[in-house]
Chains A and B, each alone.
Chain A
Amino acid sequence: MYRKQVRRRRAVLALLIVGSFALLTVTYGQGSDGMQRGVSTIFSPLQSGADRALKPARDLVNWFDETFDAKGRNEQLHGELEVAREQAVGAKAALAENEQLRKLVGLDKSGAIPSGYTPVTGRVIARSPTVWFADVTIDAGSGDGVEVDDPVVNGDGLVGKVEAVTGGTAQVTLIADHTSAVSAKIVPSGIQGVMKPSVGDPEDMILDFLDSEKRVGKGQSIVTAGWRATGLESGYPPNLPIGEVVVASLLEQEAQQQVHIRPYADLRDLDLVQVLTGGSRG
């Protein structure tokens, strides 16, 4: 009797292991299939409800974390504030000039969202627990006009792009995911490169394949390049803010053609995001 039980147990275990490997082999690289979309659709109301119900508790835990963090960053921020004040004065002058130019050419738009795109707001209702997949689920889906590959931003800058959609939800792969690669350019110099994440550290990204002849300086801003070639175009529209250069050592630029950047968007703490639907990418 005991041997029979042991045999049955081993058989179930072997079946589960073989099943896992079979699923991995069959589904890897195939994108989302019907089963996943179905399960996601069934559970999305539950996830959405749990997300709303647990938001106060989540905010409380995050408040503790941010308070500890804020104490450490206080001195650093004082220093940065002085620099920012100087820049703000220059920026105000530039804004006034920009406003006049916009009126002149009839482009009275906010500028953050490229023309031709319709922003759809979604709330993050689930997030991947491992550092290996930087994915979030939002409560806006194909029913709201969201499509696969639509870019996703928040108030600070680029967040990622839509990987899969169901009727009421969408899966967003963040720019911190190891599969992400964004064509980006440094402003105002216009030097172009490809931004890749550093797995495990969402505050450190690498802008790679830079022109080693041109120098990049700390503090310069990065935006999406949004290129277009014959039959091909970038996955992101041009000029979406991404982040700023934080480490730009001469050695790294010459030897590896790369600099380190910090994204403007806090990818660890996303709540509301906007999916840019419609429009053309390049």
Chain B
Amino acid sequence: MILTSNILVRLVAIVIGGVILQLSFFSQVTLFHVSPDLLPALVVALGLLGGTLTGAVCGFSAGLLLDCLLIAPLGGGSLVLLATGYLAGLFRERFEIHSPLVPPLLCLGLTLFAELGFGAVQAMLGIDAPVSSLVIRDMLLKSFFAFFAGWAIYLGVRRALRPALVEEPVAAPRPRRPSALGA
């Protein structure tokens, strides 16, 4: 990814917009008794398009903003989303993305990883109440929601960052076909 000031502004807007949308919309709707968590999927898309460094920095920033807005202990969200973005970037740097199913599948897997990570951070800090087995259902459903939303998020972020993407194929002009008259 070629980082110019214009692209940096777009990245900041994507991260802030994503966090606001998550808190004001997705966290307040329920599907099958579970609220979708699409921030990990957004960070995965950024990592897949920008690589390890972009993924990690965007994940860290999104997590820090999330913790600030929720007035939660700082650092937990940053750590988890940083790791999520880094892993997505690592995948991009090690493997070719041949199938359109790769981004949604990565969103599914890394959202599950992020939810487990949030749980692990919380367990590290101490949980003062019994944990219901429904937490597992919550994590799995959040991952499935990320799978279905993952492709749309990936396409949207790719469109927003298109000028910065190195591999993005540029539409070549069509060769002119001779007409029936030979003109």
A residues with CB within 8 A of B = 9, 12-13, 16-17, 19-29, 32, 35-37, 39-40, 43, 46-47, 50-51, 54, 57-58, 61-62, 64-65, 68-69, 124-133, 135, 137, 163-164, 171, 178-181, 196-201, 204, 206, 268-269
Is the C-beta of B127 less than 8 angstroms from some C-beta in chain A? yes
Q: How far is the CA of A39 from the CA of B63 in the complex (A)?
A: 13
Of A47, A54, A124, the residue contacting B69 (CB under 8 A) is A47
Asked if B65 and A39 make an inter-chain contact with CB atoms under 8 angstroms apart, the answer reads yes
Write the chain A residue with the least CB distance to B59: A16
Q: Is B79 an interface residue (CB 8 A)?
A: yes
A47 to B28, CA, bound (A): 13
Can you give 10 A-B contacts (C-beta < 8 A)?
A: A13-B52, A16-B56, A19-B75, A50-B21, A133-B70, A135-B70, A178-B128, A180-B129, A268-B30, A268-B35
Q: Is the CB of A204 within 8 A of B132?
A: yes
Could you say which residues of chain B place their CB within 8 Å of the CB of A199? Answer: 127, 129-132, 135
Pair A65/B70 contact, Cβ less than 8 Å: no
B residues with CB within 8 A of A:
16, 20-33, 35, 37, 39, 52-53, 56-57, 60, 63-76, 78-79, 82, 86, 115, 118-119, 121-122, 125, 127-135, 137-138
**Known interface pairs A35-B74, A200-B138; 19 further A-B residue pairs with C-beta atoms within 8 A, sorted by A's residue number:** A24-B79, A24-B125, A28-B73, A36-B74, A43-B69, A47-B20, A50-B25, A54-B24, A64-B31, A124-B28, A125-B24, A128-B23, A129-B37, A131-B135, A132-B118, A132-B119, A137-B23, A178-B122, A199-B127
